[in-house]
Each structure stands twice: as C-alpha cells, then as structure tokens.
Amino acid sequence: MKNEIQFEIFGDYALFTDPLTKIGGEKLSYSVPTYQAIKGIVESVYWKPTIMFIIDELRVMKPIQMESKGIRPIEYGGGNTLANYTYLRDVHYQVKAHFEFNMNRPDMAFDRNEGKHFSILQRALKAGGRRDIFLGTRECQGYVEPCEYGSGKGYYDEIHADYTLGTMVHGFNYPDETGKNQLEVRLWRPEMKRGYIQFPRPENCKIIRPIKEMEAKFFNEENIESVESLSRSLGGE
C-alpha cells in the first residue's frame, strides 16, 4: 500500500500511564502501549492536519518487564514529595500503520496528495523522526527506524497462551477527526496473541465516554498559504 508504514520503536524505559493510578501522584504503566501513544509517536515522525494515522497492529518483541523508581515530582509551591513510578523496562515494538485523508478538514483539501505525504513520511522515518520520540512521557526517550513488520524473533512467538490485558484507554476522539464538537475517550479490552495485538479502528470502539465540549480549529487563508509554503520547502509537490 502506498500509505502504509512499518517501523520499530525501542528504548530503555517507557511509561504508558494508566490514568487510574495518577490519583495521589503515583504512576503505573500499562503493560503495552496504547493506540493513542503509538499514534503520538507516529505524529512525532511526521504530522500534517491533512492526514490521520490509523494504527493497525503492534508486535511486542521483548518480554514485558516492570521497574519501580522513587521520583521527586516538580512542585512549584515547594515541598519534598517522593512518588512511586512504575515503568516498563527495555521495550521494543514493531508497528504497522497507515494514513488516510481527514475528510473533516475541507480547509486542507488542496493538500490531499498521497504520494507526497508517503514520500515525506518515509524520509522522516529513516531520519528517526522530525521531533523527539517519547515513550509515553518526556523522561522516557525513544527511537524509531523502518523495519519489515513481522521479521526477526520475538519473545512471545512460541507462547501459545493468549494474554488478556484488561480494560485500557484506546485513545481520544478529537473534534477535527470526528466532526463533533466533543472531546471523548475510547476504552477497549485488548488481547495479545503470540506477541501480536490488533487494534480496532477508532470508530469501531464500543466503549466511549464524553470528556468535555470542544471545537475544532480550522486554518484561514493566511495559514493555508503558510502550510503550502512549508510543504514545498520540505520537498512536497
């Protein structure tokens, strides 16, 4: 497919925070990255409002390992609090994803050129991304590079048991992606089979909870001209 990318993500630590553990200042990572976390990583590689990234599948390459650390959070009002953060250690994933045009952004219709975005995305991926890669949180530096999805030996390849990972956050529905003036959170119950996790598309998630009202921001003519100029300077067509 001309809009599909395959790449790997790795790093020493990751913290894909379960929001239920934030109460009281503690943080506990989910066992695997959320759909939204991977989407954020892809958007750090390359992002334009013209396109939306759909995360298709994740492959866990290394064993899921946790490590707890005592962290002193920044307290601008003073204090000497010690919080317990539980990280994932020595993480390595393969990802398969693709992009689609965002039809809820008619202001970006001029930029719907699949070949251009695919070429820029591939170059950005080979360069390790246009922005810094973080694995869930800023203190967890990550790295990306192209790969052939499914290649290499994974830790869970020969383990036939299915892992039920409980209820997790899938991601967020933003107004510019759904056409609704509402910010929503999606939940789901993933299963991992031999290290592979298949993600449902956002619109196929059954558990959705509203958060707050929110309106999408659109480009005016001046901003559109700036986007076109930037696209040409980055090698776009």
pLDDT per residue as tens digits for the range 67-107: 998 887 777 666 677 888 999 999 999 999 999 999 988 88
Q: How confident is the model at residue 155 (pLDDT cuts 50, 70, 90)?
A: very high
Q: How confident is the model at residue 223 (pLDDT cuts 50, 70, 90)?
A: low
- Averaged over 109-123, what is the pLDDT? 91
pLDDT score for 227: 54
The CA-atom distances, in angstroms, between 65 and each of 58, 61, 89, 224 are: 17, 12, 6, 46
Strand-strand pairing, 191-193 and 162-164:
antiparallel
Q: Confirm whether 128 is domain-assigned.
A: yes
Residue 121 has pLDDT above 70, yes or no: yes
Q: Confirm whether 166 is domain-assigned.
A: no
**Comparing C-alpha atoms, which of 149, 98, 115, 143 is closest to residue 235?**
115
Q: Confirm whether 123 is domain-assigned.
A: yes
Q: Confirm whether 91 is domain-assigned.
A: yes
pLDDT score for 136: 94
**Comparing C-alpha atoms, which of 191, 194, 178, 237 is closest to residue 60?**
194
Greater model confidence, 236 or 143: 143
Q: Confirm whether 84 is domain-assigned.
A: yes
**How many structural domains comprise the chain?**
1
Helix axes 114-126, 35-45, angle to 10 degrees: 90
| Domain containing residue 42 | 4-159+193-199
Q: Confirm whether 66 is domain-assigned.
A: yes
- Averaged over 118-132, what is the pLDDT? 93
- Averaged over 55-73, what is the pLDDT? 92
Mean pLDDT of the chain: 88
pLDDT score for 72: 77
Q: Confirm whether 227 is domain-assigned.
A: no
Greater model confidence, 133 or 233: 133
Residue 202 has pLDDT above 50, yes or no: yes
Q: Confirm whether 177 is domain-assigned.
A: no
pLDDT score for 215: 84
Q: How confident is the model at residue 226 (pLDDT cuts 50, 70, 90)?
A: low
pLDDT score for 217: 74
pLDDT score for 225: 55
Q: How confident is the model at residue 236 (pLDDT cuts 50, 70, 90)?
A: very low
pLDDT score for 176: 83
pLDDT score for 222: 57
Question: Where residue 27 sits, what CATH number does that domain have?
Answer: 3.30.70.2660
**pTM for this model (two decimals):** 0.86
